[in-house]
Structure 1
Amino acid sequence: MKKFIIAAFVALLTSAAMAQSKPNVLFIAVDDLNAWVGHLGANPQAKTPNIDRLAKRGVTFTRAYCAAPVCNPSRAALMSGLRPGATGVYDNSEPWQPVISKDKTLTTQFLGAGYEVFGAGKIYHSSAHRPGEWSDYLAGENRTAKETAHPTAKNDGVGGIKFQPLTDDSTLSDEGIVDYGIQHLGKKHDKPFFLAVGVHKPHMPWNVPKKYYDRFPLETIKLPAGYREDDLKDVPPAGVKLAKPQGDHAQMLESGRWKEAIQGYLAAISYCDEQIGRLLDAYDKSPEKENTIIVFWGDHGWHLGEKSHWRKFALWEEAVRAPFIWVAPGVTKPGGVCDRTVDFMSIFPTLCDLTGIARPAHVEGSNLRTLLANPKAAWSTPAITTYGQNNHTVRDANWRYIRYANGDEELYDEIKDPYEFTNLASKPELANVKAELAKWLPKINKPAAKGGARDKDEEY
Structure 2
Amino acid sequence: MTKKIYLQLWLMLLGVVSLANSQQQESKNEKPNILFISIDDLRPTLGAYGDTAAITPNLDALASQGMTFMDTYAQVAVCAPSRASLMTGLRPDATRVWHLGDKFRDINPEAVTMPQYFAKHGYHTVNMGKIYHNYMPDSISWDEPDLRPSRYLKKEWLKRDGETFYISEAVNKSQVIKRDSLLKLRPERYADGWNTGPAWEAADVHDTMYYDGAQTKLAKQTLTRLSKSKAPFFFGLGYFRPHLPFTAPKKYWDLYDRDKIPTAINPEIPKGAPLHTMNSMYELRHYDGFGYIGHPTSPNRISKDTILSLKHGYYACVSYVDSLIGDLIAHMKTIGIYENTIIIVFGDHGWKLGEHNSWGKMTNYNIDLKVPMIIRYPNQQVKGTKSYAITELIDMFPSLCELSGIPVPEYMQGTSFVPLLDKPDLPWKKAAFSQFHRRPKVSADGKRYMGYSMNTGKYHYIEWYEWDDKKGSRGEYKTSELYDSEDDAYETINLAKEEKFATIVKELSVQLLEGWEQAKPAR
- TM-score if structure 1 supplies the norm length? 0.84
8 Å Cα contact 1:19-1:191 kept in structure 2? no
Larger radius of gyration: 2
Which of 223, 241, 247 lines up with 2:263 in the alignment? 223
Partner of residue 88, structure 1: 96
Which of 405, 408, 414 lines up with 2:479 in the alignment? 408
Shift in alpha-carbon separation, 1:243–1:428, aligned structure 2, 3 A: farther
Rounded to whole Å, the distance in 1 between the matches of 2:279 and 2:339 is 49
Shift in alpha-carbon separation, 1:145–1:263, aligned structure 2, 3 A: closer
Partner of residue 344, structure 2: 295
Rounded to whole Å, the distance in 1 between the matches of 2:506 and 2:459 is 12
- Residue 372 (structure 1) aligned with residue 421 (structure 2): yes
Partner of residue 133, structure 1: 141
8 Å Cα contact 1:69-1:315 kept in structure 2? yes
- Residue 122 (structure 1) aligned with residue 142 (structure 2): no
Deviation by residue 1:377-432 (Cα, 9 ceiling, x = unmatched):
11133111111173121112211111122432111111111111121111333334
Rounded to whole Å, the distance in 2 between the matches of 1:21 and 1:206 is 41
CA deviation after TM superposition for structure 1 residue 182, in Å: 1.9
Which of 196, 202, 210 lines up with 1:165 in the alignment? 202
Partner of residue 395, structure 1: 455
Shift in alpha-carbon separation, 1:23–1:97, aligned structure 2, 3 A: same
Which of 84, 107, 116 lines up with 1:108 in the alignment? 116
Partner of residue 214, structure 1: 254
3-state SS of paired residue (2:344)? strand
3-state SS of paired residue (2:272)? coil
Deviation by residue 1:144-168 (Cα, 9 ceiling, x = unmatched):
56713899xxxxxxx9981232232
Partner of residue 246, structure 1: 294
8 Å Cα contact 2:248-2:316 kept in structure 1? yes
Structure 2 counterpart of 1:236, one-letter code: P
Structure 2 unaligned segments of length 5 or more: list them. Answer: 1-18, 153-161, 172-195, 283-292, 438-448, 467-477, 516-523
Partner of residue 41, structure 2: 32
Partner of residue 168, structure 2: 148
3-state SS of paired residue (1:63)? strand
3-state SS of paired residue (1:261)? helix
Equivalent residues in 2 for 1:255-274, closer than 5 Å: 256-274=305-323
Quote the RMSD (CA, aligned, Å): 2.8
Rounded to whole Å, the distance in 2 between the matches of 1:251 and 1:274 is 36
Rounded to whole Å, the distance in 1 between the matches of 2:404 and 2:488 is 40
- Residue 66 (structure 1) aligned with residue 74 (structure 2): yes
8 Å Cα contact 2:139-2:145 kept in structure 1? no
8 Å Cα contact 2:166-2:201 kept in structure 1? no
Between 198-207 and 375-384, report the one with greater CA deviation: 375-384
8 Å Cα contact 1:59-1:332 kept in structure 2? no
CA deviation after TM superposition for structure 1 residue 200, in Å: 0.7
CA deviation after TM superposition for structure 1 residue 224, in Å: 1.7
Work out the percentage of aligned pairs sharing the same amino acid.
Answer: 30
Rounded to whole Å, the distance in 2 between the matches of 1:76 and 1:262 is 28
Partner of residue 445, structure 2: none
Structure 2 counterpart of 1:44, one-letter code: T
- More relative contact order in 1 or in 2 (CA 8 Å, sep 6+)? 1
3-state SS of paired residue (1:25)? strand
Partner of residue 205, structure 1: 245
Structure 1 counterpart of 2:294, one-letter code: Q
Shift in alpha-carbon separation, 1:387–1:146, aligned structure 2, 3 A: closer
CA deviation after TM superposition for structure 1 residue 132, in Å: 3.0
| Equivalences, count | 422
Rounded to whole Å, the distance in 2 between the matches of 1:440 and 1:104 is 30
Shift in alpha-carbon separation, 1:282–1:339, aligned structure 2, 3 A: same
Partner of residue 277, structure 1: 326
